[in-house]
Amino acid sequence: MQYKKLFGRVESWIFLFFLLHLWGIAWPPIEATHSWRQATGLMVARNYLEGNTGFFYPMTDETNGASGVVGMEFPILYYLQAGLTYVFGGFYGWGRGIHLAITTLGFFYFFALVRHFSSYKFAFTATIFLLLSAFFTYARKTMPDTACLSLMFMGCYFFLQAFRFAKWHHVILAFVFLSLGLLVKIAAVPMLAVCVFCFLAYRNKPKYAWVLCVPFLAMLPMFYWYFVWNPHLQNAFGNWYNLGVGLTTGIKGWAGNGGVILHHLVFHPFFSFIAMACVLWGVVRWFRHDFRFNYWIPLGLFVLAFVLYAFKSGPIFYTHDYYILPLVPVLCLFAAYALNHVKRFYLLILAFFAIESIANQQHDFHWNKGEAYKLALTSLADKNIPKNALVAVNGNSNPQELYFLHRKGWNLSDADLNVEKVLEIKKKGCKYLIIGKNHFDQRFDFEITFENQAYLVYRL
């Protein structure tokens, strides 16, 4: 009780996290990190909102002359965003708000799950580490990475309750949340190791072993969506958002990028070297004092699943920091294990970690003045480009500008942008070429319909 009086209840810190993330909740995706990934999701949500496609056929605006229907993660969150926008308006706010609400709720279930097997101090510390980890940046982005893990926290918690008491509402909730977590992004698969941990922790206690069927059943929708339906969409429409690479290719990529991967694994989980020092300290202590059967088997399964996921992801894993997120909850447990044995400097270490982590992530909560000029693309297109015209823009793998144009077409790179390429996409139906002048100064011999300091528009 004295501990709670000193630091407050964990619910207060989670609520504070939620309030902080309401700042700029309705901003368009022009922040410093991963505007491209949000733009893709927002395209899908907007196509649902405008009635351009059905639920099982997620569609982006990056069509490359085709339909834009794409095999991707289960689009339930984008569909929900479209529905709420249709009823209440406020497109960006709903997109970010849905992910923030799910992630915030996930923190409560993470705490409850850890608290069941540990002291209040341990669960509190682990939750604080999670709040200030990379979750701090990605919790309110319109991308599914923290939401899928939070759904898994909920699913694992209800699995534990079902495993202990076999009440049907727990069984149903466990199936629903585990299924949704795996569907929303397949990267959540390693979290199923928690169910194995629960089984081993209760191997000599009263339990309902048949509930172990629930995680296996929860994987069936995931297998159908990612390994049956998505290949069907690829065959039918010729487009898959991220197929990944073969395991051999992935392993070779790791072998040739050791320094980049080491920095990625050390820094990006928490954006803090202090936190990673706590993790490493916790790992050493755990191996020396608590290396028990019911821990190392689920941990080994988790690591195996995560490593396979990392290899399969290829270069995207070590060039995009949000791919580390499935590992973060486990690292939080090791960090908490280390600090759980600290008395004198506990608060000081936690405070320094918080300062370092927030300082390294605060830039993502600023209005990005350097990118705000892109917002004018919507009015530019409305005045100069017919709504149904196919367009191309030199977005250089970032579909953000194509999204703001609110037109379908091509997202080109500067390196590939030449007369031959322009004539090729013209034959495929492209009517307008929009050039970002700040990173491309070549001119083409086509009719110019608009030009300002930032953009040049050609009619093809």
Q: Tell me, rounded to whole angstroms, the distance of Cα 28 from its chain centroid.
A: 17
Separation of alpha carbons 347 and 7, rounded Å: 9
Q: Is the pLDDT of residue 211 over 50?
A: yes
Q: Is the pLDDT of residue 243 over 70?
A: no
In the predicted model, what is the mean pLDDT of the chain?
92
pLDDT of residue 21: 94
299 — pLDDT class (breaks 50, 70, 90): very high
Residue 212 has what DSSP assignment?
A: G
Separation of alpha carbons 133 and 123, rounded Å: 15
364: Cα within 13 Å, side-chain hemisphere: 22
Q: The pTM is what?
A: 0.94
User: Which has more pLDDT, 46 or 345?
Assistant: 46
**Pairing between β-strand 455-459 and β-strand 447-451 as defined by DSSP bridges:** antiparallel
pLDDT of residue 241: 67
Q: Is the pLDDT of residue 1 over 60?
A: no
Mean pLDDT to the nearest integer, 44-66: 95
| Nearest C-alpha neighbor of 437 from the set 458, 423, 459, 422 | 458
Locate the domains of the chain by residue range.
2-242+346-365, 372-459
Question: ∠ at Cα 300 (271, 289), nearest 5°?
Answer: 80
Q: Is the pLDDT of residue 261 over 90?
A: no
Q: What percent of the chain has pLDDT over 70?
A: 97
The pairs formed by 395-401 with CB atoms below 8 angstroms and a separation of 24 or more are 395/436, 396/439, 397/36, 398/35, 398/36, 398/39, 399/36, 399/39, 399/40, 399/43, 399/60, 399/61, 399/62, 400/29, 400/30, 400/35, 400/36, 400/39, 400/374, 401/374, 401/377, 401/434, 401/436
Contact of 242 with 323, CB cutoff 8 Å: no
Mean pLDDT to the nearest integer, 195-204: 91
Q: Is the pLDDT of residue 2 over 70?
A: no
Per-residue pLDDT tens for 74-89?
A: 999 999 999 999 999 9
